[in-house]
Structure 1
């Protein structure tokens, strides 16, 4: 989401770059591919290959075998994970969306176009809604996690385990509904799809043909 938020600037203000094949690959395709490959490589090392004593595999805990022992025993790797892999994308996502709103408004004023709130309300609400959802879901867990890693391992530990780590999943639950509520064209398309998919019973007069057989 952070990568897409940054690329949105290019799509709106520098869309001509994407017409060049190699620039489209470098600026659009490769960053998205990196978002898929990098997390798998990092967490394969940090969770599967990282040496632990085996006590982290506690399947009776609320987290069902919380195996991220590097968060407890490696401050450098744990701080890097929580700040760079999780915290930085959240900040980039929020700042990129806010910056996009500011750039659109400034460009309208620079070219002396009439600026009306109604024209930009939909884009503003959509971007702020997405950013707010990520901040609400991730900020409590990231802040508490960094405090624990940097020297206070028991800081809000129970609340972090029981509530904040589960709060992250509201992004997966509510993000589709946020998009759905902000895209009226998609809602109309879904309604039309279901309307066409329903069978229609036609009611009308019928004619009975009587055949007379003569011997």
Structure 2
């Protein structure tokens, strides 16, 4: 049972993306029309995204959208499970104890959802039949919004480590104190002159 529930999903998550993108990018036949050298976005998308609606929709929905939805649902299910377990064991539900876990889960999930949802929705509409639907906004903003996750996730993680944040605050407070002392000494030195 451990192999089925633990090892196989991990193995699937390692092997599936390599196989899918090897076949979709390397082995997918291109006719060369995607290479418009006068465009700023020459070769911007892979052939299967431009010319195969079924494979492009599957890629955006299953490989990009589904992980986002599973992430959000798994976090909500975990929170509901904690609440139900507390009720089942007739323990008082104090949100003060559960608040940290809830805030962590919802913060990380909402960061992914805010960053990925606009790009996924616009890309699916474009693949399904309206290729110019918000194309300029998608190129200029939504595709860059995905990188917000990479930029803010370390800060989110750091904010949930109380000893580290306390140490950083003390460090900056100490350095500010040192700067004030050095400024005071400079002023005193100039006053002597």
Please report the TM-score for the alignment, with normalisation by the length of structure 2. 0.78
- Secondary structure (helix, strand or coil) at the match of 1:152 reads coil
Partner of 1:71: 49
After superposition, the Cα gap between the structure-2 partners of 1:161 and 1:60, relative to the gap in structure 1 and judged at 3 Å, is farther
Shift in Å, 1:34: 2.0
After superposition, the Cα gap between the structure-2 partners of 1:123 and 1:39, relative to the gap in structure 1 and judged at 3 Å, is same
CA contact (8 A) 1:86 1:142 kept: yes
- Structure 2: gaps spanning 5 or more residues: 172-193
After superposition, the Cα gap between the structure-2 partners of 1:180 and 1:28, relative to the gap in structure 1 and judged at 3 Å, is farther
Task: Pick the structure with more helix per residue.
Answer: 2
Bigger CA radius of gyration: 1
Shift in Å, 1:53: 2.1
Work out which structure has the larger RCO, using CA pairs closer than 8 Å and 6 or more positions apart in sequence.
Answer: 1
The aligned runs of 1:34-45 (5 Å cut-off) are 34-45=12-23
Quick one: distance in 1 between partners of 2:4 and 2:37? Answer: 43
Shift in Å, 1:46: 1.1
Deviations along 1:156-202, whole A, 9 cap, x unmatched? 011111111111112222212211211325x27987xx9xxxxxxxx
Partner of 1:139: 117
Deviations along 1:55-92, whole A, 9 cap, x unmatched? 43457765574241211211110111111111111111
Write out the 4+ residue segments of structure 1 that deviate beyond 6 Å after TM superposition: 188-191
CA contact (8 A) 2:34 2:43 kept: yes
Partner of 2:86: 108
Please report the TM-score for the alignment, with normalisation by the length of structure 1. 0.71
CA contact (8 A) 1:62 1:162 kept: no
From 116, 121, 126, the counterpart of 1:148: 126
Quick one: distance in 2 between partners of 1:130 and 1:99? Answer: 15
Partner of 1:182: 160
1:33 partnered with 2:11: yes
Q: Tell me the number of residue pairs that the alignment of Structure 1 and Structure 2 aligns.
A: 169
After superposition, the Cα gap between the structure-2 partners of 1:144 and 1:111, relative to the gap in structure 1 and judged at 3 Å, is same
From 46, 54, 58, the counterpart of 2:24: 46
Shift in Å, 1:143: 0.3
- Structure 1: gaps spanning 5 or more residues: 1-21, 195-215
